[in-house]
C-alpha cells in the first residue's frame, strides 16, 4: 500500500515517512503542491496526507483537483492553522478525515490503518456492485429487446407502479432491476420478494416483519422486505400467488404508504416504489375472486410484457456467448468455442423455459462435457430440449438433405436404444445387417 505525504514542513514529512514505513507502508513525500501533484499522477498512491496550507496554495483546492483526477483515492487533511470551517469544507469535498497539528503519531497510524480498511471494503463493495449489475444485465440486440429497454428508460425516472408480465424464464426480474438501476433510487435498496417461494403462513411476517413475541419462535423483532426497501424499490415477484389477506395489506401500503408489523400495532410510514411481476393471467384470477380487482388496477399503471425467446431467436448466439463466458469464469474453466452448426442447432430448438432454460443448458454443457470445441454431436447428445416440430417440418431445404437429417437422427437414437449393437438394431428395424452397416457408414455414424 502506498502513501504520499504533501506538507511544506520537511521534518513532518520525514517523521511521517519513517513511522509509516516501519508499519510496512511504501511512502513518498513532497514539500510543495506542484511536486505533490506530479508524484500523485506518477505514482498513484492509495492514501494521501495533505496539508491544508502549502507554499501559498490552498490545500482544499488541491484536494478538489486530486478528486477530479481520481475519485477513489483517500485523502486525509492535516493542519495546524485551521478550524471547524476548513474541516467541514475538507469533508464536503471528499476528504476521508481531518487531523490537527501537532500530530499524534499513534493516531496517524490508526487513521491510516482504518483508511486502508475502508479502501478494501470499498473495493469489495464496488466489485460486488459490478457483479450484481452484470448479473442483472439484459442481453440482446433484437428489436423486441431494444423496444423493451427503450420502455424501461422512459419509465425509470418516475415512481409509477409497474406490472411486468411474461412467461417463466423471460427475465422479469432483470427488467425490474433495470428500472430500479436507471431510476433516482438506484443508490438505495432493491428488495425482492417472491410470493411463490415462501409458504403462505410466512408471507406476511417476511413481507411486513414482526414484533418480538408475535408468534412462537419470534425471540426478537425483525424488519420485513418493505422496511428493507425503504427509499428504494420493492420487487414483488409472482404477485399472482399472494394470499388475499397479504394483498389487502399491500394495497394499504400503495394507498397510504404505511403498514404494521405482524404482532404490532404501531403504524410505520414507508417510501418505496412497487414493481410487481407474474406469469399468471391476473384478469382470470380477478374473475375467480383469487386476486383483488382494486390491487390489480393499482399495480397495472404501466404494464410491461417480456418477450418469450421464440420471438427473438436472433439473440440466441449472443446469449450463448454471454452464458459461456459467465460459466467459464464461475467454474474456472477455459471458455468453450461453439461451432457455427452447433449454434444453428440451438437456434432451432424450442426453449419452452425461455432464456432460463438456455442458460441451464449451457451450464450443463460446461459441467458434463470436457471438450473445448463444441460440435453438433455434443449439442444433440446432451440436449433434453428438442427441435420444435414446426421448425423441422416447415424448413424448406432439399428432400435429400432433409431425409439425411431424419435418418441420422432416427438411427442415432435407435442405436442408443439398443446399446450400439448393430445386430439387435437391424433386427428391431427389420433390416439386413449389411444394409444397416452400409447406411451407418454413409451417414458417418460410427
Say yes or no: 262 and 358 in one domain.
no
State residue 128's pLDDT score: 64
pLDDT tier at 153 (50, 70, 90 boundaries)?
A: very high
pLDDT tier at 338 (50, 70, 90 boundaries)?
A: very high
- The chain-wide mean pLDDT, for the chain, equals 88
pLDDT tier at 388 (50, 70, 90 boundaries)?
A: very low
Say yes or no: 352 and 375 in one domain.
yes
| HEC per residue, the chain | CEEEEECCCHHHHHHHHHHHHHCCCEEEEECCHHHHHHHHHHHCCCEEEEECEECCEEHHHHHHHHHHHCCCCEEEEEECCCCHHHHHHHHHCCCCEEEECCCCHHHHHHHHHHHHHHHHHHHHHHHHHHHHHHHCCCCCCCHHHHHHHHHHHHHHCCCCCEEEECCCCCCHHHHHHHHHHCCCCCCCCEEEEEHHHCCHHHHHHHHHCECCCCCCCCCCCECCHHHHCCCCEEEEECHHHCCHHHHHHHHHHHHHCEECCECCCCCEECCCEEEEEECCCHHHHHHCCCCCHHHHHHHCCEEEECCCHHHCHHHHHHHHHHHHHHHHHHHCCCCCEECHHHHHHHHCECCCCHHHHHHHHHHHHHHHCCCCEECHHHHHHHCCCCECHHHHHHCCCCHHHHHHHHHHHHHHHHHHHCCCCHHHHHHHCCCCHHHHHHHHHHCCCC
Rounded to an integer, the average pLDDT of 351-364 is: 94
Say yes or no: 290 and 420 in one domain.
no
- Dig out the grid coordinates for 57 from the structure: 496554495
Which distant-in-sequence residues (6+ apart) come within 8 Å of 24 by Cβ?
A: 1
In a domain, 137, yes or no: no
State residue 149's pLDDT score: 95
Say yes or no: 294 and 380 in one domain.
no
Cα distances (Å, whole numbers) of residue 424 to 232, 271, 411, 420, 441: 66, 71, 13, 9, 17
Long-range contacts of 105-114 (CB under 8 A, 24+ apart): 105/15, 105/19, 108/16, 108/19, 108/20, 108/49, 109/19, 109/20, 109/23, 111/76, 112/3, 112/20, 112/23, 112/25, 112/47, 112/76, 113/23
In a domain, 266, yes or no: yes
> Could you report the per-residue pLDDT of 322-331, keeping only the tens digit for each?
999 999 999 9
State residue 192's pLDDT score: 94
State residue 131's pLDDT score: 65
Domain end, chosen from 244, 273, 307, is at 307
Say yes or no: 181 and 123 in one domain.
no
In a domain, 75, yes or no: yes
Q: What are phi and psi for residue 281, nearest 5 degrees?
A: -85, 100
**Cis link prior to 195 (omega < 30° from 0)?**
no
Which of 276, 307, 278 has the alpha carbon at shortest distance from 162? 276
The CATH number linked to 37 is 3.40.50.2300
In a domain, 18, yes or no: yes
Cα distances (Å, whole numbers) of residue 428 to 266, 417, 433, 446: 75, 10, 11, 19
In a domain, 189, yes or no: yes
> Could you report the per-residue pLDDT of 264-321, keeping only the tens digit for each?
888 999 999 999 999 999 999 999 999 999 999 999 999 999 999 999 999 999 999 9
The CATH number linked to 388 is 1.10.8.60
Query: Is the per-residue pLDDT at 390 higher than 50?
Result: no
- How far from chain centre, in Å, is Cα 426? 53
Mean pLDDT: which of 133-137, 240-244, 406-410 is highest? 240-244
Percentage of the residues of the chain whose pLDDT score is greater than 90: 55
Domain end, chosen from 92, 107, 131, is at 131
- Give, in degrees to the nearest 5, the angle at Cα 24 between 18 and 28: 50
Say yes or no: 232 and 345 in one domain.
no
In a domain, 279, yes or no: yes
The CATH number linked to 426 is 1.10.10
Q: What are phi and psi for residue 363, nearest 5 degrees?
A: -65, -45
Say yes or no: 243 and 347 in one domain.
no
In a domain, 351, yes or no: yes
Say yes or no: 370 and 439 in one domain.
no
State residue 353's pLDDT score: 93
Say yes or no: 285 and 324 in one domain.
no
- Dig out the grid coordinates for 305 from the structure: 410484457
pLDDT tier at 385 (50, 70, 90 boundaries)?
A: very low
Rounded to an integer, the average pLDDT of 194-214 is: 88
Segments forming the whole domain that contains residue 337: 313-395
Question: What span, in angstroms and rounded, lies between the C-alpha atoms of 54 and 33?
Answer: 6
Q: What are phi and psi for residue 397, nearest 5 degrees?
A: -135, 180
Question: What span, in angstroms and rounded, lies between the C-alpha atoms of 83 and 63?
Answer: 17
Say yes or no: 299 and 317 in one domain.
no
Domain end, chosen from 104, 131, 158, is at 131
In a domain, 138, yes or no: no
CB 387 within 8 A of CB 349: yes
CB 52 within 8 A of CB 77: yes
Say yes or no: 343 and 411 in one domain.
no
Number of structural domains in the chain: 4
Query: Is the per-residue pLDDT at 89 higher than 80?
Result: yes
State residue 196's pLDDT score: 86
Say yes or no: 169 and 112 in one domain.
no
State residue 129's pLDDT score: 61
Q: What is the dihedral of CA 177, 182, 185, 186, to 10 degrees?
A: 70
The CATH number linked to 262 is 3.40.50.300
CB 279 within 8 A of CB 168: yes
> Could you report the per-residue pLDDT of 28-87, keeping only the tens digit for each?
999 988 899 999 998 889 999 998 888 777 888 899 999 999 888 999 998 876 667 777
Amino acid at each position: 500500500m502506498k502513501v504520499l505525504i504533501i506538507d511544506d514542513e520537511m521534518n513532518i514529512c520525514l517523521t511521517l515517512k519513517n513511522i509509516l514505513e516501519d508499519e510496512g507502508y511504501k511512502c513518498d513525500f513532497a514539500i510543495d503542491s506542484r511536486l505533490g501533484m506530479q508524484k500523485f499522477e506518477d505514482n498513484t498512491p492509495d492514501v494521501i496526507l495533505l496539508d491544508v496550507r502549502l507554499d501559498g496554495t490552498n490545500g482544499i483546492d488541491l484536494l478538489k483537483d486530486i478528486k477530479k483526477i481520481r475519485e477513489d483515492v483517500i485523502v486525509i487533511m492535516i493542519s495546524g492553522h485551521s478550524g471547524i470551517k476548513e474541516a467541514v469544507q475538507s469533508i464536503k469535498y471528499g476528504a476521508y478525515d481531518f487531523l490537527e497539528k501537532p500530530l499524534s503519531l499513534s493516531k496517524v497510524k490508526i487513521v491510516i490503518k482504518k483508511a486502508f480498511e475502508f479502501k478494501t471494503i470499498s473495493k469489495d463493495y464496488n466489485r460486488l456492485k459490478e457483479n450484481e449489475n452484470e448479473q442483472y444485465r439484459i442481453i440482446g440486440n433484437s428489436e423486441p429487446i431494444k423496444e423493451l429497454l427503450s420502455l424501461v428508460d422512459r419509465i425509470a425516472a418516475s415512481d409509477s407502479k409497474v406490472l411486468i408480465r411474461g412467461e417463466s424464464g423471460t427475465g422479469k426480474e432483470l427488467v425490474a432491476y433495470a428500472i430500479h438501476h436507471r431510476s433516482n433510487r438506484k443508490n438505495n435498496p432493491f428488495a425482492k420478494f417472491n410470493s411463490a417461494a415462501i409458504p403462505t403462513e410466512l408471507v406476511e411476517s417476511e413481507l411486513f416483519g414482526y414484533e418480538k413475541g408475535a408468534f412462537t419462535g419470534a425471540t426478537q423483532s425483525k424488519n420485513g422486505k418493505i422496511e428493507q426497501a425503504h427509499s428504494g424499490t420493492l420487487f414483488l415477484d409472482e404477485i399472482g400467488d399472494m394470499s388475499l389477506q397479504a394483498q389487502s395489506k399491500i394495497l394499504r401500503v400503495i394507498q397510504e404508504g404505511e403498514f404494521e408489523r405482524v404482532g404490532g400495532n404501531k403504524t410505520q410510514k414507508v417510501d418505496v416504489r412497487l414493481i410487481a411481476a407474474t406469469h399468471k393471467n391476473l384478469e382470470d384470477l380477478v374473475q375467480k375472486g383469487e386476486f383483488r380487482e382494486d390491487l390489480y388496477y393499482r399495480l397495472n399503471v404501466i404494464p410491461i410484457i417480456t418477450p418469450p425467446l421464440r420471438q427473438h431467436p436472433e439473440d440466441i448466439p449472443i446469449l450463448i456467448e454471454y452464458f459461456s463466458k459467465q460459466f467459464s469464469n464461475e467454474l474456472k474453466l477455459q471458455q468453450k468455442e461453439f461451432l457455427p452448426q452447433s449454434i444453428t442447432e440451438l437456434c432451432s430448438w424450442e426453449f419452452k423455459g425461455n432464456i432460463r432454460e438456455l442458460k441451464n443448458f449451457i451450464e450443463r454443457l460446461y459441467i458434463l462435457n470436457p471438450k473445448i470445441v463444441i460440435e453438433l454431436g455434443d449439442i444433440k447428445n446432451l440436449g433434453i430440449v428438442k427441435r420444435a416440430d414446426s421448425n423441422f417440418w416447415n424448413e424448406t431445404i432439399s428432400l435429400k438433405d432433409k431425409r439425411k437429417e431424419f435418418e441420422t437422427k432416427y438411427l442415432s437414437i435407435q442405436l442408443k436404444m439398443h446399446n450400439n449393437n448393430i445386430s439387435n438394431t437391424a433386427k428391431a428395424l427389420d433390416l439386413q445387417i449389411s444394409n444397416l452397416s452400409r447406411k451407418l457408414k454413409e451417414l458417418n455414424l460410427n
